[in-house]
Structure 1
Amino acid sequence: MIAETICAAVSAAGLGIAAVAAYRKRFLTAARIAAYALVPLGLVLTGVVEWAAGTVFSPAAWVGVGLLGAAWGLFTTTRAVERRRLARASAEDAAGPRPVAPSASAPAVGRAGRPAAGPGGAAKAKGKQPAAGTDDDFSDIEAILKKHGI
């Protein structure tokens, strides 16, 4: 009851200020002030003020707000832990290549001890044919690279 009275008083005061602004030939300002002044009255008439006042003084509503806050805290905590784990995993990956599975071998290397195809090595090896005595181990990789236009 008191919230509705306060909203009605604020609306009346705002409309009074709008009338003064219109009297001073500031019609755009008067229209804007009148629009702001009508908002509290509209909220009272739609019942939003009564609902909000009932919610503010309701213990069940505050328990719900607390539960929402706890859920938000859990979401942010799990997100932070997940990011920390991903950062550790990427730091371990930067330390050196690891086998995919425990029983997997080390990454494949060419006969001279150099990587088979690095970021720049694929472009250099694109036009070259394998030497006559080498194995055809990388022919399938070259086919895949050619298929994708690399």
Structure 2
Amino acid sequence: MIAETVCSAVSVAGLGIAVVTAYRKRYLTATRIAAYSLVPIGLVMTGVVNWLAHTAFSPTAWAGFCVLGGSWLLFATTRAVERRRGTTRKQRKEARDAQRADPVAPGASAPSLGPGASRPSRPAKAPGGQSGDDFSDIEAILKKHGI
């Protein structure tokens, strides 16, 4: 009686942890925790202690086998998803860090104009004879007024 209560409490606690983990958007981990937490209650339901006397004709035991099968199915599903993704947590972290890194040669990412094409050395002047240096005058005025 005490063993069943303890196993039930462990299962409920494990399912609670799985819910919190799923809330944090770590679904594969939450599924795996749920699978682990169903094992004790499944073992209680199968009646491992009284295996020979009660297993063959007990609907509770067969329900326990179904719970254990569901637990195994959850394990298999999470493994299949991880294999299909083909990446581990460490590989995903390295890829994320590589994306955040600054480029080695920023000018190397400029598109090519093709063979024989020349690029103008200076941008064309704005209409009215004004160049792109107008903002420097505005910045000087704002600095003068402390803005």
- TM-score normalised by structure 1 residue count: 0.33
- TM-score normalised by structure 2 residue count: 0.34
Q: Select the structure with the greater relative contact order (CA < 8 A; seq sep ≥ 6).
A: 2
Q: For the pair shown, which has the larger CA radius of gyration, 1 or 2?
A: 1
